[in-house]
């Protein structure tokens, strides 16, 4: 099945978000926390893999970005 241009762009956004989250998780100092967060991220993305509703996908991307920002904020605070 071929993707429409908006589906293609949305897919790129999702993959980019996933990569950013995994990169941020690498900064987590504790090995156990890193493993937990990586498993959590993988499960979340896997669980929503079949989503096709455009608004739902947009909402999930927004939520994911907010969670990413929260993680980055927490890591920044931990370092200071």
Tell me whether residue 76 is exposed, middle or buried, using C-beta atoms within 10 angstroms of its C-beta: 0 to 12, 13 to 18, 19 or more. exposed
User: Tell me: the pLDDT tens digits for 33-62?
Assistant: 999 999 999 999 999 999 999 999 999 999
Kindly state the tokens that stand for 27. Answer: 């900064």
**Domain extent for 60:** 5-79
pTM of the model: 0.90
Domain count, the chain: 1
Average pLDDT over residues 71-80: 93
CA–CA distance, 69 with 72 (Å, rounded to integer): 5
Nearest Cα to Cα of residue 14 among 29, 3, 27, 1 = 3
The pLDDT of residue 35 is 98
Tell me whether residue 50 is exposed, middle or buried, using C-beta atoms within 10 angstroms of its C-beta: 0 to 12, 13 to 18, 19 or more. exposed
Does the pLDDT of residue 3 top 90, yes or no? no
């Amino acid at each position: 099945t071929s993707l429409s241009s908006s589906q293609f762009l949305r897919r790129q956004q999702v993959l980019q978000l996933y990569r950013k989250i995994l990169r941020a998780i690498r900064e987590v100092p504790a090995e156990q926390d890193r493993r937990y967060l990586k498993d959590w991220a993988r499960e979340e993305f896997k669980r929503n893999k079949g989503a096709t509703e455009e608004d739902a996908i947009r909402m999930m991307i927004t939520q994911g970005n907010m969670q990413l920002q929260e993680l980055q904020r927490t890591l920044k605070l931990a370092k200071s």
